[in-house]
Amino acid sequence: MAQSITSEITKTRMCDALKKKMAQKPLNKITVKEIAADCGLNRQTFYYHFQDIYDMVEWMFEQEAIEMLRETVSIHTWQEACLRLFRYIEKNQDVCLCALNSMAGSHLQNFLYHSLEGLVRDVVNQAAENLDTAEKYRSFLTHYYTITFTGILVGWLRGDMPGTPDEIIEMLSIAISDNIRGATERFAEQGEVRP
């Protein structure tokens, strides 16, 4: 157990060093040697914990997602949870842009997708409450809206979507307020689709 805690601390220290580097230069210009040196470690220690820098980025975003999900338990609405995700991106903009603009972009998108999926599933299930909407339709709507929200977050991060987080959440709320409920009702009316 103590070794596991020590390992997590070491990995977190290396990720903190990586974040500092990601704020300064592209991911493909960051070396394992730099990260290890910033932590006072050797390269072998890095490779004991990670296969490469991209593996490290993936682990870092997985840990951030776990922490974010832990924090969202006390949140009452999906709007509050999405706002928290926008705030995370705002706070870590350099790191997120660096990841997005590198081969690790998929790790950031996976992080965003998994951070949103549970929230969207809850909204879909709430909209489908008291309806006989098949699980495959609920899953489809969850996937559809999660991809949509992820795309909006990525667009906002890139600067393709102007507006403050509060403005974007308000627009999202208006855009989907009746759509999810309407879709679950139509799917329930339709029943099983015949091939």
Architecture of domain 1-50: Orthogonal Bundle (1.10)
Output the pLDDT for position 105. 83
Output the pLDDT for position 34. 94
Output the pLDDT for position 192. 53
Mean pLDDT, contiguous 10-residue spans, the chain (195 residues): 73 94 92 93 92 92 80 73 88 90 84 87 86 89 93 93 93 84 83 48
Amino acid at 103: M
Do the beta carbons of residue 67 and residue 111 sit within 8 Å? no
Output the pLDDT for position 187. 84
Q: Which long-range contacts (CB under 8 A, 24 or more apart) does 166-171 make?
A: 166/83, 168/86, 169/79, 169/82, 169/83, 169/86
Closest CA to 141 of 122, 124, 127: 124
Do the beta carbons of residue 128 and residue 144 sit within 8 Å? no
- The distance of Cα 176 from the centroid of its chain, to the nearest Å, equals 20
pTM above 0.85, yes or no: no
- The distance of Cα 79 from the centroid of its chain, to the nearest Å, equals 15
Output the pLDDT for position 182. 85
- Domain segments of the chain as ranges: 1-50, 52-190
Do the beta carbons of residue 88 and residue 157 sit within 8 Å? no
Output the pLDDT for position 193. 47
